[in-house]
Structure 1
Amino acid sequence: MSGQPTGVPSYAVRIAEGPADMEACFAVRKQVFVVEQEVPADIEYDAYDAGAVHVLAVSGDGLPLGTGRLLYGAAAAGRTGGDATVGSLGRLAVSREARGSGVGAALVRAIEDAAVERGLSAVDLHAQTHALGFYERLGYVAYGPEFPDAGIAHRAMRRAL
C-alpha cells in the first residue's frame, strides 16, 4: 500500500467479506474496546453490524491490524441528523502494535471511499476526545458539545467528501 511510513511492515486495507474477515474485525474491536477500554461487550456489538460496510487492515502475513465500519442510509440517519447523504464512520480500532503506522488513516480513507461509492456527500463520526487531533489531521471538523458514550468523552465530527 502506498503512503506507508518507512520501516512499517506492509499491510493492506480492504472491505471485509465473509465470516473470517468479520471474525477478524470483531477480534480487533474486542481487544481495543472491550479489553483495553473496558467498553461492555453488549454495547460494543450491535444490530448495525449486520448492514454496515466493514473495512479490515491486515499485515503482510494476514494478521488483523485494524477495522472500522460505515453506516449509511436509514442505519446512519439517527447519527447524522436524518440526512441520507451523510454516512457514519464508527468502531475504528487499531491494534496496539499497529498504532502510529498509518493503519488508522488508511482505514478512514477506505471508509470514505466506500461512502463516495454509495453516493454520500459527507461522513460523520463520534470521536473519543483523545483522538480529535487524529481526525482533524484527516480533515474532520468537530461540532457540538462533548458527550459521554460508553463512559468515554466524545465529540461529533464531520468531513465533506
Structure 2
Amino acid sequence: MKPLTIRYGDWSALRADAQTIRLEVFVQEQNVPAELEMDDKDAVCLHVVAYDTHGAPVATGRLLPDGHIGRMAVRKPQRGTGIGGQLLQGLMAQAKARGDREVVLSAQTHAAPFYLKHGFVQRGEEFFEAGISHIEMTCQL
C-alpha cells in the first residue's frame, strides 16, 4: 500500500473532504438519501480522512462522543488496500485514549467480516437502515 496522510479533526476542518467521500459512497453508490447521510451528529464527532500520495481524499470515518464509530467509507479504487483498517484502528485508538472502554458500530452486513477481523463481535439481530441490511457490532478496548 502506498503511504497515506491521515488527518483527524472536527467537522469544520474536514467537512469538505469527508462529505465528498460519503456522498460518493453512500448516496451515489448505495442510493442512501442525502438527507439521511448528512446529520446533525457530524458537528459533535471526531472525523478522520485519509489522503493518497497526491493529496486526494480517499477514505473517511467518524467517532461519536458516545463511542459509536460510523460513516466508514472508502472510495472504490482504494478498497481492499488496508486504508479502511487503518482508519478504523485509528478511531479505536482515539476512543481508547479518551477513556472509552468499548466502541460500537452498525456495520452493513456485507462488511461484517472486515469488522470481525479487527476484533469486533456481533451484538443483536440484523436490521435495515436506509434500505440496507446492518448488524450491530462491538469491540472492547
TM-score range, shorter chain: over 0.9
The structure whose Rg is larger is: 1
Asked whether 1:46 is paired with 2:39, we answer: yes
* Distance (Å, rounded) in 2 between the aligned partners of 1:121 and 1:113: 11
* Distance (Å, rounded) in 2 between the aligned partners of 1:43 and 1:29: 11
Aligned partner of 1:149 among 129, 134, 137: 129
Deviation at 1:18, TM superposition (A): 6.9
Aligned partner letter, 2:57: P
Answer whether contact 1:129 1:155 (CA < 8 A) is retained: yes
* Distance (Å, rounded) in 1 between the aligned partners of 2:81 and 2:2: 9
Paired position in structure 2 for 1:4? none
Flag the 1:18–1:93 CA change in 2: closer, same or farther, 3 A: closer
Aligned partner of 2:75 among 69, 73, 95: 95
* Distance (Å, rounded) in 1 between the aligned partners of 2:106 and 2:64: 13
Aligned partner of 1:122 among 102, 106, 128: 102
Aligned residue-pair number: 141
Query: Deviations along 1:66-86, whole A, 9 cap, x unmatched?
Result: 0000001xxx3xxxxxxxxxx
Q: Give the SS at the match of 1:125.
A: strand
Deviation at 1:143, TM superposition (A): 1.2
Deviation at 1:157, TM superposition (A): 0.2
* Distance (Å, rounded) in 1 between the aligned partners of 2:33 and 2:70: 16
Paired position in structure 1 for 2:49? 56
Taking only aligned residues, the RMSD between alpha carbons, in angstroms, comes to 1.2
* Distance (Å, rounded) in 2 between the aligned partners of 1:112 and 1:119: 11
* Distance (Å, rounded) in 1 between the aligned partners of 2:41 and 2:131: 20
Q: Which runs of 5+ in 1 are unaligned?
A: 1-7, 77-86
* Distance (Å, rounded) in 1 between the aligned partners of 2:117 and 2:50: 20
Paired position in structure 2 for 1:33? 26
Taking structure 1 as the reference length, the TM-score comes to 0.84
Deviation at 1:128, TM superposition (A): 0.3
* Distance (Å, rounded) in 2 between the aligned partners of 1:18 and 1:134: 26
Q: Give the SS at the match of 1:97.
A: helix
Q: Give the SS at the match of 1:127.
A: strand
Taking structure 2 as the reference length, the TM-score comes to 0.95
